[in-house]
Amino acid sequence: MTDVPGTLRAAAIKALSTADLSEKARLTTATAEFWFARKLGLSAPTDPPSPSRPGRPLKPDLVPPRDVPRRSVHTLEGRIAMIHALAHIELNAIDLALDIVARFCGQPVPRSFFDGWMTVAMEEAKHFGLLSARLVDLGSFYGALPAHDGLWQAVEVTSHDLPSRLAIVPLVLEARGLDVTPSLLAKLKEVGDPQTGAILEIIYNDEKKHVAIGAKWFRFLCARHRIDPARRFQEIVRECFRGEVKPPFNDRARAEAGLTPTFYRSLSPLSS
């Protein structure tokens, strides 16, 4: 007997709402497995509404970004702070993937759309587990340091529109990970931390797939309405994204994921 509800939407909402993080990861993985085995319907009128915020434990404390600890990899404390920040990103990424499934179940998209986002959710849960275990190896734990809430703001700004969600979450926020991870891997090799480096290699390769899933469905929705995807992407970013789309860009990894420079170069503050 399973505790996974009978529809994908209800199961995603249950995992999204769960404050126990081990249980959140377990429910996410179980929901994906049931969905891929085609043991879940898509949605039902009795499904609960999507929560405005995900379930969270009491820790970590959420603070402004300027108050998050510095993350130099050259000291143990700095590496712990860096891994903690990455674990917080991956936790948010679980909930971002669950939210896109739950919130947009009523959209006229193929079932393979939900295959893609449940794959993302399951892999983000794996990433969170790897990083949390690494923190324990180093004498810490997730929740020991403060974190910020900037990623969930992307949900609030794009809750009204699926193309906007796709543009901001995978094609801006996740794509940024493709830009910064290679230099971080080089620094970890330099300081002799292959264990953390191996985890980041897994995350980097998976994130390329996640950006590709976002790019595929963003292009699909634009093609349906005969809209130029690069131009529409730029319009959405200018409207919905509070930060900057700034270099350096990992053009090769982005292009492999279907995100060519025509999408983002003109948005850079250095493009002029």
Q: Tell me the per-residue pLDDT of 23-70, one tens digit each, with 9 for 90 and over.
A: 999 999 999 999 999 999 999 999 999 898 999 999 999 888 778 877
Tell me if 225 is assigned to some domain.
yes
Tell me if 23 is assigned to some domain.
no
Distinct helix (H) and strand (E) counts, the chain = 11, 0
Q: What is the pLDDT of residue 1?
A: 39
Q: What is the pLDDT of residue 270?
A: 65
Cβ–Cβ under 8 Å, residues 141 and 135: yes
Residue 8: Cβ-neighbour burial (10 angstroms; 0-12, 13-18, 19+) = buried
Higher-scoring residue by pLDDT: 221, 5? 221
Token digits for 181?
Answer: 């991870």
Beta bridge partners of 62: 147
Place of tokens 């983002």: 264
Query: How far is 143 from 155, CA to CA, in rounded Å?
Result: 22
Confidence of residue 90 (pLDDT cuts 50, 70, 90): very high
The CATH code of the domain that includes 123 is 1.20.1260
Tell me if 44 is assigned to some domain.
no
Query: How far is 181 from 127, CA to CA, in rounded Å?
Result: 14
Q: What is the pLDDT of residue 272?
A: 45
Residue-range definition of the domain harbouring residue 82? 65-267
Q: Tell me the per-residue pLDDT of 230-257, one tens digit each, with 9 for 90 and over.
A: 999 999 999 999 888 989 999 999 999 9
N-to-C CA span, the chain: 60
Confidence of residue 2 (pLDDT cuts 50, 70, 90): low
Tell me if 87 is assigned to some domain.
yes
Tell me if 5 is assigned to some domain.
no
Return the number of other C-beta atoms located less than 10 Å from residue 241's C-beta.
18
Cβ–Cβ under 8 Å, residues 8 and 44: no
How many domains does the chain contain in total? 1
Q: Tell me the per-residue pLDDT of 211-230, one tens digit each, with 9 for 90 and over.
A: 999 999 999 999 999 999 99
